[in-house]
Structure 1
Amino acid sequence: MNDITDFDITKTYLAFLKDDKDMTMPIAAIESLVSMLRIKQPSTSSELINLVSKNIELLKSSIPNNISLSAGCDLFMRFVLRNTNIYKDWESFSTNLVENGELFVQRAKRSREKSAEFGISFIKDDDVILVHSYSRVVHSLLLKAKSKLIRFKVLITESRPTGNGFYMANKLKEADIPCEVIVDNAVGYVLHKVDKVLVGAEGVAEGGIINHIGTYQIGCLSKINNKPFYVVTESHKFVRLFPLSPNDLPMNNNINLLQEQNNEHNLKETYFVDFTPHD
């Protein structure tokens, strides 16, 4: 095995996010783990599993609000464990593991586009759509609808404390999509003229979704007012958690501690979230 002791999984992970603004946290985690295996080159299956487990724990402990990241780590670990029994000789296994890991990442990246293609049928002409915060996959879906010449308008919550709603609005305006930013407390005021609500997800737990703070209130208001509430997300964000309330999330979710950031990357890493249960 190569004697490389200075590989830093956290720095690698952050570098992937910095280099590709459209990369999600789960994909960045998987990319980092594949890079680690390519460099470290473990010589036995036991060494491989221990190495992956150690780096996953290190990555999870070094990143705040790591639920989305954890989904990618856990998915990759299942991928490793499943593949250990396929190949008889270690050389073939180690080579194919890295290659299949890279292929896995490529397929996961395309899932956003596939989600947009699937969700296009939910958007109709003259729709007024309420969107909460910024979501890459929701943004992709709206761009896809625009490309199909569907005419619609988007209302976007400002999404305090991060203000990511303004970022979403700017991205939609660049695509010439009619949109308007509203204050978070105005959701109940405008909901009567909304046709449907679209939100993304930082993670999908057993029993609900984990997303930007305020999603739960919007979900409750949508249900009371009989407005369709759709979650648009990729399958690699599914996490093995069963929280009953936001207090059960494995993270520091004290909103009073948040210091607003102007840097988009920092916003992503200090993302305060809601647990929104579903039926």
Structure 2
Amino acid sequence: MTTDTPTPSGAPVDLPVRAADGAPFDIVQTYHDLLAQNRDLTKPVVAIKALISLLENTNSVTAHETMDVLQASADRLTNSVRNPVPLVAGTHLFLWFVRQMLRDEGGNFENVRRHLVDNGQVFAQRAIHARTGVAEHGFRVIKPGQTVMTHGSSRAVLGLIERAQQAIPGRFKVIYVRDHYNPKESERVVSRLRKLGIPTAPIDGASVLTAVKAAKPGVSAVFLGGEVITKGGGVISRVGAAQVAQIAHESSIPVFVCGEEHKFVAFMPWWNEIGFDQKLLDFGTEDAERPATDDPVEWVPHDYVHQLITERGLHLPNHVSTTIYQTYGSFDG
């Protein structure tokens, strides 16, 4: 999962794959096009859609050749982005699924390709429905009269809060911790919640501890989303999430991580060593404009997580490891 030298996105992969116009199929460009066109989909699912598009265009004829093409393209895709972890989650799951289908179909690649291409849109819809499932299982955590806290713009978390508003309209409050690196997005989230009739108080990250102590009768729960949910039940989320979770944990406030199970990865960071350099520290002796950092992320350790909320219900953090083992037959995925 190294990304020290990202692959240039403009260089087409030298594999037996051609786009409809005869040009070499570019998995990286396809991924970014699909990401722009499918704002409701998570990065792991968009990576899977890109690989399905590759299957639609591949000229390979044997199962072995197909897997070589898919693996090489998955590697190129994950090496092309600064943060590869969400794409690793999607491509790893898809490659495992294709291997299982090839085994079940006796190695008949054409049957597998036809099934995956024909059902590509169905898969995307199921991913969206999974997010709805998170909301349906989790909204009851919020009770009338409570104040809850969240951070970032997780679609799973926002869906859960909106579902709670449908059930108990205007009868709970939200403390929203602004994302320092995405101020306009934070404004949109606050505006969205308020337009739904949810009393919302935006605060800066530096005010979390003070806000927790000031809220009366208190903060009842913290909801966090993220790009991937790691083995053990931690989550890789926006910078600032770990501080929110730590303060909540030390204040005996339960932290709920919300996300779809296709985000599960057999990956356990060593504290905040998440596999790529984000260049958050820019030391200098002269005043200069700091270069923009693109959506920096950090690991929220599972020690801070009370429960996971997925499309299959509420679970203890070890549900991730259990699911990975049940799926892949190994805790390493």
**Unpaired segments of 5 or more residues in structure 1?**
262-269
1:199-218 Cα offsets, whole Å, 9 max, x none, are: 10111112321111122111
Give the counterpart of 1:110 among 125, 129, 135: 129
Q: Give the secondary structure class of the aligned counterpart of 1:244.
A: coil
Contact kept, 8 Å, 2:41 with 2:127, in 1: the verdict is: no
For 1:74 and 1:2, the matched residues in 2 are separated by: 20
Q: Give the secondary structure class of the aligned counterpart of 2:103.
A: coil
**Unpaired segments of 5 or more residues in structure 2?**
1-15, 283-289, 304-333
For 2:118 and 2:60, the matched residues in 1 are separated by: 15
Q: Give the secondary structure class of the aligned counterpart of 1:120.
A: helix
Identity %: 29
Are residues 10 and 251 of structure 1, via their aligned partners in 2, closer, same or farther at CA, if it must alter by over 3 Å? same
Q: Give the secondary structure class of the aligned counterpart of 1:116.
A: helix
Match of 2:241 in 1: 215
Contact kept, 8 Å, 2:44 with 2:88, in 1: the verdict is: yes
Match of 2:263 in 1: 237
Matches within 5 A, 1:17-166: 17-88=35-106, 89-150=108-169, 151-163=171-183, 164-166=185-187
TM-score, reference length from structure 2: 0.76
Larger C-alpha radius of gyration, 1 or 2? 2
1:152-196 Cα offsets, whole Å, 9 max, x none, are: 111111111233432321222332322121010100001132111
Contact kept, 8 Å, 1:65 with 1:271, in 2: the verdict is: no
1:180 aligns with 2:201: yes
Displacement of 1:144 after TM fit? 1.0
Match of 2:225 in 1: 200
Greater shift, 156-165 or 119-128, is seen at: 156-165
Higher helix proportion (structure 1 or 2): 1
Q: Give the secondary structure class of the aligned counterpart of 1:181.
A: strand
For 1:30 and 1:178, the matched residues in 2 are separated by: 38
For 1:93 and 1:133, the matched residues in 2 are separated by: 38
Amino acid in the other structure paired with 1:204? I
For 1:187 and 1:166, the matched residues in 2 are separated by: 17
Using CA pairs under 8 Å that are at least 6 residues apart, name the structure with larger relative contact order, 1 or 2: 1
Give the counterpart of 1:8 among 26, 29, 42: 26
For 2:18 and 2:154, the matched residues in 1 are separated by: 40
Are residues 259 and 181 of structure 1, via their aligned partners in 2, closer, same or farther at CA, if it must alter by over 3 Å? farther
Amino acid in the other structure paired with 2:195? E
Displacement of 1:259 after TM fit? 4.0
Displacement of 1:108 after TM fit? 1.8
Amino acid in the other structure paired with 1:175? L
Contact kept, 8 Å, 1:83 with 1:97, in 2: the verdict is: no
Greater shift, 16-25 or 233-242, is seen at: 16-25
1:33-69 Cα offsets, whole Å, 9 max, x none, are: 1111112243110111011111111111111112122
Match of 1:266 in 2: none
Amino acid in the other structure paired with 2:180? R
Amino acid in the other structure paired with 2:297? V
Amino acid in the other structure paired with 1:253? Q
1:56-96 Cα offsets, whole Å, 9 max, x none, are: 11111111112122211111111111111011344323322
